[in-house]
Amino acid sequence: MIITKTTGLARFYYATRYSIKGLRAAYRSEPAFRYELWAAALLLPLAFWLAQSGLQLGLLISSLLFVLIMELINTAIEAVVDRAGTEFHALAGLAKDLGSAAVLLALFVTALIWGGIAWDNFS
């Protein structure tokens, strides 16, 4: 059996559909993703007010997206680990903890960026 992959615009179309499907699944099944998405939605208008340059605006918005990206990766890691089995294994716990740590560090990076830009613009 030969499997052919789509190419060109069809590939882009299907890839986009799968991505939207993943975003919907994360929103429905992951409370942390929902909280972070709503926080990003609330902070987005503030980014336009706080930024005094295009670079600052890009950093502010990128930091919000970075948290969401890390949460999606963490969710993917958790899904794969849970699919592999329900029994406890130290490596499974480590994988989940590392994914969670990545999200925490992304939140720290976001706080540093927002704090640094606020400091520069208001001090």
To the query of whether residue 36 is one of the catalytic residues in this protein, the response is: no
CA distances from 98 to 36, 75, 94 (A): 18, 12, 6
Q: 89-108 b/e with 16+ CB inside 10 Å = b?
A: eeebeebeeebbebbeebbe
Phi, psi of 89 (to 5 degrees): -145, 135
Of 36, 71, 78, 87, catalytic: 71
Catalytic sites, residue numbers = 71
